[in-house]
Amino acid sequence: MASAGSAIRIPTNYLPSEGGEAVVSRGELVEIGGSFRIPDVMAKAGAVLREVGTTNRTRIADYERAIHEKTRVLLRVHRSNFAMVGFTEQPALADLVALGRKHKIPVVEDLGSGALFDLRSIGVGGEPGVADSLRAGVEIVTYSGDKLLGGPQAGILSGKKELIARIRQNPLFRALRVDKLTYAALEATLLAYIRNDSSAIPVLGMMHLSADAIRNRANELQKALASAATLKIEIIAGESVIGGGAAPQATLPTWLLALTSQKLSADALAARLRATEPLPIIGRVEEGRVLLDLRTVFPEQDAVIVRALVQIASAS
């Protein structure tokens, strides 16, 4: 599919019959990038939303009370781009699957980011993976081909063979399918997973970088910039945010290059870095310093940063 939004539209368009309902928690009626909202996507798919529970608390009993002869899907939407904390409650996925099996109603889960590796291996908890949902018995899982998966922009459906076969018969499947270049990029990404080659997938390689490795690179850059007399180069502890609409509360420990110029303001220095050719250097400004996180810089690009900063220091 062209995107995760279209991926969730296809099963909800095809599985419900005329007037069929999809039961969803009020706490999961999310808005994703581009102002696309789950209720609007579902309405376009021809599904009638049956909202249950409240914004912050939904129980399995709420789902069961909403089930009747027109119920066709139990929908679970992962809150991948925001967090809800405090007085909250959400049924376990296993309980929702058990309820679906009891009433012979498929469970469809929109994961959003769709990690194919265990995020707990890098210290990130509370972010479900595709395999977790499938092992729990979810019939259809929809997720993005980019974001945490690390491939091209796409929407992917995984699940029960017979249901996927029915979905493929939907005329919209052909209208929304991606082109051959996207298939090729996605194939290359998935083959890297099979080979367990995380270094071939940039987002995975960046997330797996240790703070010690980043500190060592920062030390080398600091030494290489000793000649940039008008720049003060500090190395400070920091946190990397995963971003991309995933794991909103998760951070990874890192070390930052904190840059201060004797002649330029922090905003002016950041602007000069953004104007660097052939590769713009994007940092952030905090407390009067420009911060660069080497987690998001390929090691072979460290020399680009050194050259740019030496040129800026000499010109200013």
In the predicted structure, residue 4 carries a pLDDT above the cut 60: no
Ranked by mean pLDDT, the top range of 13-27, 50-64, 156-170 is 50-64
CA–CA distances in Å: residue 199 to residues 150, 196, 255: 11, 9, 20
Centre a 10 Å sphere on the Cβ of residue 148 and count the other Cβ atoms it contains. 27
Q: Take residue 73 and report the two structure tokens written for it.
A: 């899907």
Question: Binning pLDDT at 50, 70 and 90, where does residue 234 land?
Answer: very high
Please tell me the distance from the alpha carbon of residue 316 to that of residue 308, in angstroms, as a whole number. Answer: 12
In the predicted structure, residue 63 carries a pLDDT above the cut 80: yes
Please tell me the distance from the alpha carbon of residue 22 to that of residue 33, in angstroms, as a whole number. Answer: 22
Please tell me the distance from the alpha carbon of residue 47 to that of residue 68, in angstroms, as a whole number. Answer: 15
CA–CA distances in Å: residue 165 to residues 3, 22, 118: 19, 20, 28
- Return the amino acid letter for 109: E
Instruction: Return the pLDDT at 1.
Output: 55
Question: Binning pLDDT at 50, 70 and 90, where does residue 113 land?
Answer: confident
- Return the amino acid letter for 38: I
> Which tens digit of pLDDT belongs to each residue from 242-291?
876 778 888 999 999 999 999 999 999 999 999 999 899 999 999 999 99
Apex 23 CA angle, 18 and 26, nearest 5:
135
Instruction: Return the pLDDT at 127.
Output: 82
Please tell me the distance from the alpha carbon of residue 259 to that of residue 312, in angstroms, as a whole number. Answer: 12
In the predicted structure, residue 17 carries a pLDDT above the cut 60: no
Strand ranges in 155-230 using DSSP code E only, listed in sequence order: 155-159
In the predicted structure, residue 6 carries a pLDDT above the cut 90: no
Instruction: Return the pLDDT at 14.
Output: 54
Instruction: Return the pLDDT at 18.
Output: 56
CB contact at 8 A, 175 and 140: no
In the predicted structure, residue 306 carries a pLDDT above the cut 80: yes
Instruction: Return the pLDDT at 88.
Output: 95
Pairing of strands 107-112, 140-144: parallel
Please, what's the largest Cα pairwise distance for the chain? 75
CA–CA distances in Å: residue 13 to residues 1, 38, 165, 190, 283: 14, 13, 14, 28, 43
> Which tens digit of pLDDT belongs to each residue from 205-232?
999 999 999 999 999 999 999 999 999 9
In the predicted structure, residue 22 carries a pLDDT above the cut 80: yes
> Which tens digit of pLDDT belongs to each residue from 173-211?
888 888 999 999 999 999 999 999 988 999 999 999 999
* Overall average pLDDT of the 25-47 stretch: 84
Instruction: Return the pLDDT at 11.
Output: 65
Q: Which residue has the higher pLDDT, 136 or 40?
A: 136
Residue burial 98-113, b: 16+ Cβ < 10 Å; e: rest: ebbeeeebbbbbbbbb
DSSP characters over 250-269: -EEEEEEEEEEESSS-HHHH
What's 196's DSSP letter?
A: T
In the predicted structure, residue 16 carries a pLDDT above the cut 60: no
The answer to whether the Cα torsion of 245, 248, 250, 252 is positive or negative is positive
Please tell me the distance from the alpha carbon of residue 145 to that of residue 111, in angstroms, as a whole number. Answer: 11
Please tell me the distance from the alpha carbon of residue 224 to that of residue 221, in angstroms, as a whole number. Answer: 5
Q: Which residue has the higher pLDDT, 32 or 7?
A: 32
Structural domains for the chain = 4-200 (3.40.640.10), 209-315 (3.90.1150.180)
